[in-house]
Amino acid sequence: MAGTVHVIEMKRPAARTRRTNLVLAGDWTATGLPAMIEGATRSGQTAADVLQTQ
């Protein structure tokens, strides 16, 4: 099971995209956490950090 989780995490998209005006957020993005509220919260914070550094 642990190997499956690692493979799923590798397939999730990062917050930063190739487009400078598009940032992804949501529990389905790569956060290192399961797709739950904690992952969604971390994803939103990561997206905000990406936007601030642009």
Tally the domains of the chain: 1
* Amino acid in the structure at residue 31: T
Overall pTM surpassing 0.75 (yes/no): yes
Which residue's structure tokens are 């509220």? 37
Query: Which tens digit of pLDDT belongs to each residue from 32-41?
Result: 888 899 999 9
Determine the residue type at 27: D
Mean per-residue pLDDT pooled into runs of 10, the chain (54 residues): 66 93 94 89 96 90
Q: Supply the range of the domain harboring residue 26.
A: 2-53
